[in-house]
Chains A and B, each alone.
Chain A
């Protein structure tokens, strides 16, 4: 069935002209039309623009000028500026903002001939773990409409899980690709900080933000990353290194024990208090599968992991408080209708334009940077950040990849954690340290837990690699996906729509 096809398969069908990009795109748009009113994965669709791109892709294919992603419809997280597209970051502040330029990631996909299917819902300014902070409303988890898809890349997550797109983009500041990948049951990769340019990606916490692919399989992610990764001189933190082909090792992941010699580190802190039993069971089974693939298990420790949440909730809000100061109603974005003077215009425009969680984080960030508190909070957090990063340096002396859960539990019910920000923040217990260290991390589908209503809920296995070791991580994910089929499963109710 087409909607379950891999990017490689779709690419072959397009290249051999079994299907045109316009046909493929229209098929997805039709599925979106049917399901999006319920799932709310997309917040901006522009059929005309999308079809124009599909036609251009068909022309490129006809001319023989195409690559693996030419003609393939992708969903773009609404955090990426795309010229002529409304780009909102799911905020009232940018409700009418039409981006006048393209993000680097968008230009890369345009150059590759991919088709922009639409902009996906997300937590407002990427601040959240359930997609419930979106100004445009929550997103349904395709596996259980009562539950959240995770966040902040919840729209992209639901779109991939419900097969509303061939693949999608996300961004991950504290787990925003990996946690929804776990909760919605697909493969999501957050690359090493600096691998994908942040130019045109609306900033949340600049030293942590990183864009990455969200797709069905490791192989699909590798094809996406081939397009997304690469040096961009407009981003000072973009790393200037040689282009890699992230699919290069995948073909070797077959046969007996393809992972022989691979050392997998299991941090004891990832299997301690806070991890729900059903998730633990799935992860243990997945680890057993890896042993069969030839991997060796090493016990490791990340002693400062528990500090990653407090450190993150100092550093990310601090950076965000400053990054979001540009939304002042002067040059673009929401401006209050009534005000008596300049100060009132600022205060009201920002109070009206930002949602509750964004305001909370701006206020926390402002507080920790304010006179008299900087050393106790900001500086301290930066020092502990180094301790957290050093934990990984030490760990990688003993292993090649680290594995564990991506989220402490399966998808939770909408509204369950909205009144308690701290409970929501604990969702990122296993993902945040990776952002603080700047390491790459991914989540792959590893099985299901049964929820109370008897519905299966996906569980993701997190794979953390050393700096710029994405190719190996994708190999490791791919090897597992050759012997399991979790990544091909989709919610039964949505299969025949």
Chain B
């Protein structure tokens, strides 16, 4: 039987705020345990929550970025359950009326072994504001867990998709796109190691061609794209094998073990949860007006889609190039900086996506960490445009820039890469080459076009690559009459 995997994601995005969702405690990562756990964070008797303005603005930004409905009135609810890292015994979240409603995110799924690259629209069901829990530190004392509530109350936006993804690759492409987007609009630092961006993945399988969804299992707290891919692939295979062996899938919450590459059900979540959601009486309905949206929109960077449109119309880039250059705000900013510093747009696009990106990938660096600045790349492109160096020579200059050997002109000078454009000097070379290759000249005159290219090659070789190829072409043609 042919199987189809159905995947939906719930992503917890820590919002970039100074203080917590409902109190004035700091959200800085990595402090000593419980030193950022104020009276509200530890849920002393009598404390009350007041909502952070900045986190509401983050939610509005996200809603605007995915073209979603933003609720004029949304409600905070209590999700009740007992867990030592949940000090109140309930999490303040949004249930029936979330602040962000339906929206869309377009993803680019890269080419696989047997598949072409393609685009797909993933529907966002909702995004709601809530608060993070604390952390349990295991075996700090034999047989005990230690509870650190510094993270308790940190603002989160939980972003939920429809079950729209049909492969691990699509799920990862979505997660990467979302990861870029939340950083793009400045609502999350994207730091997955510190848990700023955590994905829960719902996986189910069904016979291909059928409509009914299979029973899903939820893989919790994936904090790297690599693990996500592994976990989904393992889980999909496990579910298919289980069903093919005549078994059934039980709904479960599962954990991925990166060491073994396997998934397993969580023991603490065996019992069915009954969260007893109800509107939090300590908080009033959250109102978002048109004026709020206008204000927030004015504060937002140009979104990837808009930037793509501008790149194609203003710089005549292809849709493919424009889409690649807007894969992250850092890349787009770098590209725009190269162009603004005088680099040719088409060339800039080629270099950013080509040599620069290859080098960054090879050294696992982000564009922000690139040793070659946008200004340097623009200077390099100018030297290509004004015929100072050839494209080939430019690659050597780029290597020099990467290695920190100095500025563009100094490197050209030091490596002697300047192109020869002096007609007299080139003519002298051509004359020598023609004299030494009479046979080829005869072949050309007999109508063999190939011989011409061979002669150009000889001329370039003779100039040690420094002759301007266009000039060589032109002069050679006139000589051969």
Is there a contact between chains A and B in the complex with CB atoms less than 8 Å apart? yes
Q: Which A residues, 314 to 364, have Cβ-Cβ distances below 8 Å to chain B?
A: 318-319, 321-322, 324-328, 330-332, 342, 346
Among the listed A100, A237, A322, A327, which residue makes an inter-chain contact with B78, where contact means beta carbons less than 8 Å apart? A322
When C-beta atoms are compared, the residue in chain B nearest to A373 turns out to be: B276
Asked if B84 is an interface residue, CB under 8 A from chain A, the answer is: yes
Interchain residue pairs A-B with the least CB separation, the first 8: A325-B89, A207-B281, A369-B276, A206-B281, A200-B46, A202-B45, A326-B43, A371-B274
Asked if B44 is an interface residue, CB under 8 A from chain A, the answer is: yes
Please report the C-alpha to C-alpha distance between residue A477 and residue B284 in the assembled complex, in whole angstroms.
33
When C-beta atoms are compared, the residue in chain B nearest to A89 turns out to be: B45
- B48, A332: Cβ atoms closer than 8 Å: no
Residues of A within 8 A of B229 (CB): none
- A87, B43: Cβ atoms closer than 8 Å: no
- A322, B80: Cβ atoms closer than 8 Å: yes
Contacts known (A199-B48, A200-B46, A201-B46); A328 close to B82, Cβ less than 8 A = yes
User: Contact string, A192-207, partner B, CB cutoff 8 A, digits 1/0?
Assistant: 0000001111110111
Please report the C-alpha to C-alpha distance between residue A81 and residue B46 in the assembled complex, in whole angstroms.
7
Residues of A within 8 A of B351 (CB): none
- B278, A81: Cβ atoms closer than 8 Å: no
- B282, A326: Cβ atoms closer than 8 Å: no
Asked if A366 is an interface residue, CB under 8 A from chain B, the answer is: yes
Asked if A103 is an interface residue, CB under 8 A from chain B, the answer is: yes
A-B contact pairs, 11 of them (CB 8 A): A198-B48, A234-B48, A236-B284, A237-B284, A322-B276, A328-B82, A331-B43, A366-B276, A370-B276, A371-B274, A378-B278
Residues of A within 8 A of B274 (CB): 370-371
Additional 16 contacts, C-beta under 8 A, given A87-B45, A319-B281, A331-B42 = A199-B46, A200-B46, A201-B46, A202-B45, A206-B282, A207-B281, A233-B50, A235-B50, A237-B281, A318-B278, A321-B276, A322-B278, A326-B89, A328-B84, A331-B87, A366-B276
Residues of B within 8 A of A200 (CB): 46-47
Asked if A101 is an interface residue, CB under 8 A from chain B, the answer is: yes
Please report the C-alpha to C-alpha distance between residue A346 and residue B89 in the assembled complex, in whole angstroms.
11
- B278, A236: Cβ atoms closer than 8 Å: no
- B80, A236: Cβ atoms closer than 8 Å: no
When C-beta atoms are compared, the residue in chain A nearest to B43 turns out to be: A326
A: interface residue count bin:
35 or more
When C-beta atoms are compared, the residue in chain B nearest to A125 turns out to be: B45
- A369, B46: Cβ atoms closer than 8 Å: no
- A202, B281: Cβ atoms closer than 8 Å: no
Among the listed B47, B84, B90, which residue makes an inter-chain contact with A199, where contact means beta carbons less than 8 Å apart? B47
Contacts known (A100-B39, A331-B87); A325 close to B48, Cβ less than 8 A = no
Q: Which B residues, 266 to 294, have Cβ-Cβ distances below 8 Å to chain A?
A: 274, 276-278, 281-284
User: Contact string, B78-93, partner A, CB cutoff 8 A, digits 1/0?
Assistant: 1010101001111000
Give chain B nearest CB distance to A81 CB in angstroms: 5
**Of listed B47, B78, B80, residue having the most chain A CB within 10 A:** B47
Asked if A374 is an interface residue, CB under 8 A from chain B, the answer is: yes
Please report the C-alpha to C-alpha distance between residue A203 and residue B43 in the assembled complex, in whole angstroms.
12
Please report the C-alpha to C-alpha distance between residue A321 and residue B82 in the assembled complex, in whole angstroms.
12
Q: Which A residues, 287 to 337, have Cβ-Cβ distances below 8 Å to chain B?
A: 318-319, 321-322, 324-328, 330-332
- A326, B80: Cβ atoms closer than 8 Å: no
Give chain A nearest CB distance to B225 CB in angstroms: 33
Contacts known (A236-B282, A322-B89); A203 close to B46, Cβ less than 8 A = yes
Residues of B within 8 A of A327 (CB): 45
Asked if B441 is an interface residue, CB under 8 A from chain A, the answer is: no
- A326, B46: Cβ atoms closer than 8 Å: no
**Chain B residues within 8 Å of A, Cβ to Cβ:** 39, 42-51, 78, 80, 82, 84, 87-90, 147, 149, 274, 276-278, 281-284
Residues of A within 8 A of B278 (CB): 318-319, 322, 369, 374, 378
Asked if A109 is an interface residue, CB under 8 A from chain B, the answer is: no
When C-beta atoms are compared, the residue in chain A nearest to B276 turns out to be: A369
Give chain B nearest CB distance to A104 CB in angstroms: 9
**Chain A residues within 8 Å of B, Cβ to Cβ:** 80-81, 87, 89, 94, 97, 99-101, 103, 198-203, 205-207, 233-237, 318-319, 321-322, 324-328, 330-332, 342, 346, 366, 369-371, 374, 378
Residues of A within 8 A of B45 (CB): 81, 87, 89, 94, 97, 99, 202-203, 326-327
Please report the C-alpha to C-alpha distance between residue A6 and residue B35 in the assembled complex, in whole angstroms.
47
Residues of A within 8 A of B82 (CB): 325, 328, 346
Residues of B within 8 A of A332 (CB): 44
Please report the C-alpha to C-alpha distance between residue A100 and residue B46 in the assembled complex, in whole angstroms.
11
- A236, B46: Cβ atoms closer than 8 Å: no
When C-beta atoms are compared, the residue in chain B nearest to A331 turns out to be: B42
Give chain A nearest CB distance to B391 CB in angstroms: 64
Residues of B within 8 A of A325 (CB): 80, 82, 88-90
Please report the C-alpha to C-alpha distance between residue A233 and residue B48 in the assembled complex, in whole angstroms.
10
Please report the C-alpha to C-alpha distance between residue A319 and residue B282 in the assembled complex, in whole angstroms.
10
Please report the C-alpha to C-alpha distance between residue A199 and residue B24 in the assembled complex, in whole angstroms.
15
Residues of B within 8 A of A94 (CB): 45
Please report the C-alpha to C-alpha distance between residue A233 and residue B23 in the assembled complex, in whole angstroms.
11
- A101, B39: Cβ atoms closer than 8 Å: yes
Residues of B within 8 A of A207 (CB): 281
Please report the C-alpha to C-alpha distance between residue A346 and residue B274 in the assembled complex, in whole angstroms.
17
Please report the C-alpha to C-alpha distance between residue A97 and residue B50 in the assembled complex, in whole angstroms.
25
Residues of B within 8 A of A81 (CB): 44-46
Please report the C-alpha to C-alpha distance between residue A366 and residue B48 in the assembled complex, in whole angstroms.
21
When C-beta atoms are compared, the residue in chain A nearest to B51 turns out to be: A236
Contacts known (A236-B283, A370-B274); A326 close to B87, Cβ less than 8 A = yes
Residues of B within 8 A of A235 (CB): 48, 50
Give chain A nearest CB distance to B307 CB in angstroms: 39
- B90, A322: Cβ atoms closer than 8 Å: yes
- A236, B48: Cβ atoms closer than 8 Å: yes
Please report the C-alpha to C-alpha distance between residue A157 and residue B338 in the assembled complex, in whole angstroms.
77
Residues of A within 8 A of B147 (CB): 330
Give chain B nearest CB distance to A382 CB in angstroms: 8
Give chain A nearest CB distance to B131 CB in angstroms: 14
Please report the C-alpha to C-alpha distance between residue A99 and residue B88 in the assembled complex, in whole angstroms.
17
Please report the C-alpha to C-alpha distance between residue A318 and residue B87 in the assembled complex, in whole angstroms.
19
When C-beta atoms are compared, the residue in chain A nearest to B272 turns out to be: A371
Please report the C-alpha to C-alpha distance between residue A471 and residue B122 in the assembled complex, in whole angstroms.
58
Residues of A within 8 A of B49 (CB): 236
Contacts known (A101-B39, A322-B278, A369-B276); A202 close to B80, Cβ less than 8 A = no
- B89, A236: Cβ atoms closer than 8 Å: no
Contacts known (A202-B45, A328-B82, A330-B87); A236 close to B50, Cβ less than 8 A = yes
Give chain A nearest CB distance to B53 CB in angstroms: 12
Residues of A within 8 A of B43 (CB): 326, 331
Residues of A within 8 A of B51 (CB): 236
When C-beta atoms are compared, the residue in chain B nearest to A101 turns out to be: B39
Residues of B within 8 A of A99 (CB): 44-45
When C-beta atoms are compared, the residue in chain B nearest to A333 turns out to be: B45
Please report the C-alpha to C-alpha distance between residue A413 and residue B234 in the assembled complex, in whole angstroms.
69
Please report the C-alpha to C-alpha distance between residue A332 and residue B284 in the assembled complex, in whole angstroms.
28
Please report the C-alpha to C-alpha distance between residue A81 and residue B39 in the assembled complex, in whole angstroms.
12
When C-beta atoms are compared, the residue in chain B nearest to A366 turns out to be: B276
Please report the C-alpha to C-alpha distance between residue A347 and residue B119 in the assembled complex, in whole angstroms.
52
Please report the C-alpha to C-alpha distance between residue A122 and residue B88 in the assembled complex, in whole angstroms.
23
Please report the C-alpha to C-alpha distance between residue A101 and residue B82 in the assembled complex, in whole angstroms.
25
- B87, A237: Cβ atoms closer than 8 Å: no
Please report the C-alpha to C-alpha distance between residue A330 and residue B90 in the assembled complex, in whole angstroms.
14
Give chain A nearest CB distance to B140 CB in angstroms: 15
Please report the C-alpha to C-alpha distance between residue A319 and residue B276 in the assembled complex, in whole angstroms.
11
Residues of B within 8 A of A203 (CB): 45-46, 282
Residues of A within 8 A of B84 (CB): 328, 330, 342
Give chain B nearest CB distance to A228 CB in angstroms: 15
Please report the C-alpha to C-alpha distance between residue A319 and residue B277 in the assembled complex, in whole angstroms.
11
Residues of B within 8 A of A87 (CB): 45
- B284, A101: Cβ atoms closer than 8 Å: no
Please report the C-alpha to C-alpha distance between residue A238 and residue B256 in the assembled complex, in whole angstroms.
45
Please report the C-alpha to C-alpha distance between residue A64 and residue B278 in the assembled complex, in whole angstroms.
51
